[in-house]
């Protein structure tokens, strides 16, 4: 289990617990459930890489305690 912090710098900061083998899509769903936004409107970013939905967190080397940038499209 790892915990990821997602922050859109507009007032929403969510810490999500997930598995490393969860896909980004799953993570988005979790975030959506916590923040109350639609998951398909969420964009997750780290620097300039936009994470794609079908790829697992571990493949992106997302580790426990990492911060992801939360954007909305």
E-only strand ranges, 1-73: 2-8, 12-18, 42-46, 49-50, 67-72
Contacts of 22 (CB under 8 A, 6+ apart): 30, 56, 57
Can residue 66 be called a binding residue for other proteins (CB under 8 A)? no
In whole angstroms, how close is the CB of 46 to other proteins at the nearest point? Answer: 18
Can residue 67 be called a binding residue for other proteins (CB under 8 A)? no
Q: In the range 2-31, which residues lie near other proteins by CB under 8 A?
A: 3, 5, 11-22, 26, 29-30
Chain residues that interact with other proteins, rule: CB under 8 A? 1, 3, 5, 11-22, 26, 29-30, 33-36, 58
């Amino acid at each position: 289990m790892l915990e990821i912090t997602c922050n859109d710098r507009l007032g929403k900061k969510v810490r999500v617990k997930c598995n490393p083998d969860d896909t980004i899509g799953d993570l988005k769903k979790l975030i959506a459930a916590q923040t109350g936004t639609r998951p398909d409107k969420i964009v997750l970013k780290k620097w300039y890489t936009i994470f794609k939905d079908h790829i697992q967190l571990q493949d992106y080397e997302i580790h426990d305690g990492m911060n992801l940038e939360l954007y909305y499209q």
